[in-house]
Chains A and B, each alone.
Chain A
Amino acid sequence: MFLTDEEKRILDGAEGAGKQKAMEMLYALGVTFDAEKLIPIKRAHVALSGQEGDTYWCELLVDGGATCAVPPTTNPYWDTDYLTKFYDVTKEELDLANRTGEAYRKIGAILTYHCAPGVCSNVPFLGEHIAFSESSATPYVNGALGARSNRESSISALAAAVVGKTPYYGYHIDENRHGDILIEVDAELNECYDWGILGHCIGEMAGSLDPVLVFKNKVRPSQEDFLYFGAEAATSGAVAMYHMVGITPEAPTLEAAFGGKKIPAPAALITNKTLKDQETKLTAATGDINLVMLGCPHYTYSQILEIERLFAGRKVSHNTAFWILAESGAVELAERSRLRQKLELLGVRMVGNTCIDEPCWKSFEGSLGVTDSPKCAYYRERRGQPFAIRRLSECVEAAIKGRLD
């Protein structure tokens, strides 16, 4: 890989050990993926997590004197001020959270604490070269918006932010953005949950290939639909780029989606039955529940409004907690419009700046939870809470009953 004299100096440590580590990461990736050079970026998003691995890396760079050339937006860990009012955590868990915030503050990140930056907190343009990590974010910015990001890890995105550059390979290059497999969809997609299940099917089929979807029915996905679709395709598989013909910006036609390559025969036809089967495979659990957890990816204001509509004044069962994890701007809007206060009277709580996969939620472990997100269920499993996956209306009914039938 070609490095400029300036880049070589950084790699040799002339600008400090932190920046050197960051450059070593970019260099290793560049060499592995046969990049010819580094290119400048103007945006980055780091999937900060409040987990030790990621915080270790940020501290390693900060302690080596690094700051960000391109300040990145960040994912959440958890709202330590608010959630410690409700739940106990150990001193170690709180210390790690505080260490994380401090390290990212020092490195000069923009602390948006939002896992869907493409929706509102860091929105790139068509064709813009960026380095975005976070599985909800990368397919969204590539597929739905047409920006150009590789499937970065939190640590490679932070390295790119520090240096202000990223290796020129993969999705930065036109020919790698074209479709690899064709999938036809003839199914009803009524809400973002259905798009999530569709994404889960697609991820299994596509792995790391770029799927091209052709819809038999006319569809017009919303922000939330794209978000759920991409998050699940990147959970069950490693999809970071997709096309929806006639919908996403780089696929005005089927030919354009495949970039003039030969269009392959459809690899699959997804029907209502395919989605139903996938849902059945994912959602077996029933019984008493202690938690409904929504917001993986982070809920938008419209989704919070939808919850109010579905409750229709009814209340959450006394033995169940109901938490919405939302983008902090959506929580502020809900507060300002008194939606938050109305929902709290029903037993529905919301919090910004917080992820599902954090130690503050451990008091619920050991019992069944319900969520509308297969991604939430997948990651909570490691922490010892099984989750049933249901569409939002069923999550609400389960919360009111305190059980899932």
Chain B
Amino acid sequence: MSEDMKVYKCRKIVKGSASGEALVSTDAMCFYLTDPETGTVIERNHAIHGKSIANKILVLKSGKGSSVVQVDGFYQLWVKNNLPAAIILIDTEPVIVSSAVMVGCTMVDRMDPDPYKAIEDGDYVEVDADRGEIRVRKKK
């Protein structure tokens, strides 16, 4: 591991490990309001409107919206290989958890400290759900 990597604790929700560029959403998300072909968020007035979540390490406030479109949002991104590589969740709620369980999207929560303080857009992040670890290298 490189010296400039910081290691944080978290809790596994859905198993797996992944790495990639961080994208931070301070808003809760309904995955149905993304374009499945690109992973771009299309919800107006959303904190990450116009950005793609595809293969990112998504730091996410929470899930929101109807109890079924979230499922389809995850499913459509899954079949197009445009899901986030992993999701670091702040406020854990059942609909987003069950959606991630169905498609096997790596998911963790209870990161210590607050992920909004530790992670910014463009940082390189590794999530190891099984070990309960998040490693962050700040962007230059």
Contacts and interface: CB of A to CB of B under 8 A. Distances in A.
Contacts of A311: none
A48 B68 contact: yes
A354 interface: no
B138 interface: no
B40 interface: no
Given A47-B66, A134-B67, A54 B72 contact: yes
A191 interface: no
A75 interface: yes
B13 interface: yes
Interface in A47-85: 47-49, 51-54, 56-57, 75
A134 B97 CA distance: 16
Contacts of B98: 25, 28-29, 152-153, 155-156, 159
A134 B72 contact: no
Contacts of A56: 75
B13 A32 contact: yes
A135 B101 CA distance: 20
B55 interface: no
A382 B33 contact: yes
B68 A49 contact: yes
Interface stretch (B1-9, B16-24, B57-65, B114-122): B57-65
Interface string A131-160: 001110010000000000011111111010
Given A208-B62, A382-B33, A382-B42, A52 B75 contact: yes
A155 B33 contact: no
Contact of A238 (B62, B74, B76): B62
A46 to B, nearest CB: 9
B134 to A, nearest CB: 17
B124 interface: no
Majority secondary structure, A binding face: helix
Given A155-B102, A170-B94, A207-B91, A238 B72 contact: no
B66 A207 contact: no
A109 interface: no
Interface string B53-88: 000000000111111111111111001000000000
B28 A238 contact: yes
A328 interface: no
A381 B42 CA distance: 9
Contacts of A153: 67-68, 70-71, 94-95, 98-99
Interface residues of A, number: 42
B99 A155 contact: yes
A171 to B, nearest CB: 10
Given A53-B72, A208-B93, A382-B42, A138 B67 contact: yes
A33 interface: yes
Contacts of B72: 49, 51-54
A357 B69 contact: yes
Contacts of A235: 65-66
B32 A54 contact: no
B95 A29 contact: no
A53 B74 contact: yes
A167 to B, nearest CB: 9
Contact of A75 (B68, B74, B76): B68
Contacts of A48: 68
B125 interface: no
Given A32-B13, A382-B33, A53 B73 contact: yes
Interface of B: 13-14, 28, 32-33, 42, 44, 62-76, 79, 91-95, 97-99, 101-102, 109
Given A32-B92, A51-B71, A379-B69, 16 more contacts: A28-B13, A29-B101, A32-B13, A47-B66, A53-B75, A54-B68, A152-B67, A154-B68, A208-B91, A234-B66, A235-B66, A237-B64, A238-B62, A238-B64, A238-B93, A379-B32
